Amino acid sequence: MTRNEATSSEHAQVELGVQGMTCASCVARVERALVKQPGVVAASVNLATERASIEFSPALISRERLAETIRAAGYEPVVLTAAASETELHFIEQV
C-alpha cells in the first residue's frame, strides 16, 4: 500500500477494477499515479483481483477523477457492484 499525507479528517474508501495490468510494475505504476493526486490518502492495487482500493478525501478529489487517473496511467478503470467478491466480479459499467 502506498500512503500519502492526509489533508482532511474525513475520508472515503472506494474499490475500482483495473483492467490491463500484467505485472508488478503495472501495479506500482497505478499506485504511484493515484497517490500523486491531491486528496488521495492511500492506494493499494492487487494484480490477481485486478482491483484498486483507494482511501481519499471526497472534498478534494472525485471518484471520476480517480478513474481518470487510472486511465491516464494506461489502464482501464471499471466500477464494481457492491455485490462483487474476490472470486466473482460483476462489472456494472466502465468508467
Q: Are 77 and 94 in contact (CB under 8 A)?
A: yes
Residue 80: its pLDDT value, please?
85
pLDDT tens-place values along the chain, 95 residues long: 555 544 445 899 999 999 999 999 999 999 999 999 999 999 999 999 999 999 999 999 999 999 999 999 999 999 886 655 444 444 434 44
Q: What pLDDT does residue 6 have?
A: 47
3 state SS of 40: strand
- How far is 28 from 24, CA to CA, in rounded Å? 6
Output Rg (C-alpha) for the chain, integer angstroms: 12
pLDDT score at 26: 97
pTM for the structure as a whole: 0.77
